[in-house]
Amino acid sequence: MSHFSKRILTILVFLAIATGGLLLHPYAVWAANDQSAFSMSVPSVSSITAGSGTMFFTPVLSELLAGETTPQDLGLTVSTNVDWVLTITGSQATWTGPWSKPVGDIYWKYGAGDYAALTTSPAEVTTGGPVEEGDYPVSIKIALDLVTDEPGEYSYTYIVIELTAP
């Protein structure tokens, strides 16, 4: 290659570079950024509701003769993001009323199971895993006795329903 050809080639190369520089978008490399760390903590979260929160029994003669009230459903709804055990407990040993009606006159059962007398110690009702608004049929009935259950207003507070860890 002659000296002249080399010079021409050099000129062409530089012209190509210069043209490339002109065509470059000058902002393309001038971006700024900032990083932001997103974080969120999810603990064990549980929610349990029991109907209206209050149950009313108004026994009629047939129920008194039968020795028990018509059962009522507690209307338990559970939402939780962890495994759980549902327990039921009576908070007091006796009712408030004309006489000290025992907590054991309250009977509960889960689903198609058998009735059990409520005690002041937690009894396991059922277990489960994460659930959203799961309905759990727990029935409550009251044992009645024509001899001992004098007429009057009886109240019992509280039937305690708890979700605990397995």
Interacting residues toward another protein by CB under 8 A:
7, 10-11, 14-15, 17-18, 21-22, 24, 26-27, 30-47, 79-82, 130-133
Taking the complex as a whole, the smallest distance from the CB of residue 24 to another protein amounts, in Å, to 8
Rounded to a whole number of angstroms, the CA Rg of the chain reads 38
If the CB atoms of residues 38 and 56 are measured against another protein, the closer one turns out to be 38
If the CB atoms of residues 42 and 147 are measured against another protein, the closer one turns out to be 42
- Element holding 126 (H helix, E strand): strand 123-128
Instruction: Return d(Cα 75, Cα 43) in angstroms, integer.
Output: 26
Taking the complex as a whole, the smallest distance from the CB of residue 157 to another protein amounts, in Å, to 24
Residue 117: how many CA atoms within 13 Å on its side-chain side? 9
If the CB atoms of residues 32 and 61 are measured against another protein, the closer one turns out to be 32
Taking the complex as a whole, the smallest distance from the CB of residue 48 to another protein amounts, in Å, to 10
Taking the complex as a whole, the smallest distance from the CB of residue 89 to another protein amounts, in Å, to 22
If the CB atoms of residues 79 and 119 are measured against another protein, the closer one turns out to be 79
If the CB atoms of residues 114 and 133 are measured against another protein, the closer one turns out to be 133
Q: Which of 83, 82, 102, 84 is nearest to 92 (CA)?
A: 102
Instruction: Return d(Cα 69, Cα 140) in angstroms, integer.
Output: 9
Q: Which of 96, 94, 98, 97 is nearest to 106 (CA)?
A: 94
Taking the complex as a whole, the smallest distance from the CB of residue 91 to another protein amounts, in Å, to 23
Chain length of the chain:
166
